[in-house]
Amino acid sequence: MAMFTLCKILFWIQTLDRRMLTFSIALILYSATVNATENYYSLMTNGQCQDVICYNKYSYRLMTNGECEDVACYNKYSYRLMTNGQCQDVICYNKYSYRLITNGECEDAACYNKYSYRLMTNGECEDAACYSKKFINNNGSLGGLSTSIGTGVYRGSRNYNYDISGYGDQGYAYGNIDTSGNGDVDGYIYLEDGREVYFEGEFVGNGEIEGYDEDGNWYEFEVD
C-alpha cells in the first residue's frame, strides 16, 4: 500500500513538472511577442509609444500638426481644412459646397436644382416640367435656346445629342442618341446585361422616344 501511494506521488510530481514546463514556455513566447510589439511601436514613433493606443494618438498628432489625438478631432480638423476654417462637420460642409458652386445663392440640393434650371434657361425655368415644356419641342429639337444647355444636351449647327434612359423588352437601358431635328434618332444603348446595341427610333412627345434596337427589341426612353 505504501509503495502504491509513493508511485502516485511521483506520478503527480512528474505531471506537475510537465505543466510547469508548458506554462514556462508559453510565458516566454508571450513575453517575446509583447517585447516585439513594443519595439515596433517604439520604432514607428521615434521611441514615444509602446502600445496601439499611444500610437493612434501619435498618428493623429502627426496628421494634424499636433492639434488632434482622436478621430472626432481629426474630422473637424479636415472639414476646417477643406472650407478655409468655416466648417467642422458634414452638414456645414455641404452648405459650403452648394454656396461655392452657386455663387452664394444656395445651401441645399433643392435650391441648387432650381439654380441649374435658371442657368440653362436664361432665368425662365426652375424645374424639369417647365424646361421640357418650353425648350424641347415634340420633334425633339430645342426651341428658344441658341447655346448648349446642360448635361447631355448639346447644340451644333443642325444636329443634337441626348442622353436617354428608359425601359423595353430587355428591361432597363440607357445610352446616347443623335437627331438632326426631324424627329428621327439613332445611337447606342446599354442593356442590363452590359451589352451595347444600336438603336433607332423617333420622338413621340416632349422628350419621349420610342424605337427598336438591332435585335428587334422595343424600347421607350425619356431624355435625361
**Distance, CA of 200 to chain centre:** 34
149 pLDDT tier (thresholds 50, 70, 90)? very low
pTM for this structure?
A: 0.45
The pLDDT tens digits for 89-117 are 888 988 898 898 888 989 888 888 888 88
What are the extents of the domains in the chain?
56-101, 137-223
User: 148 or 120, which is more confident?
Assistant: 120
Q: In whole angstroms, what separates CA 32 from the centre of its chain? A: 43
- Cell numbers that stand for 78 in this block: 479636415
Query: How far apart (Å, rounded) are the C-alpha atoms in residues 141 and 135?
Result: 8
Residue 41's pLDDT is 80
Q: Which residues contact 187 (CB under 8 A, 6 or more apart)?
A: 175, 176, 177, 178, 198, 199
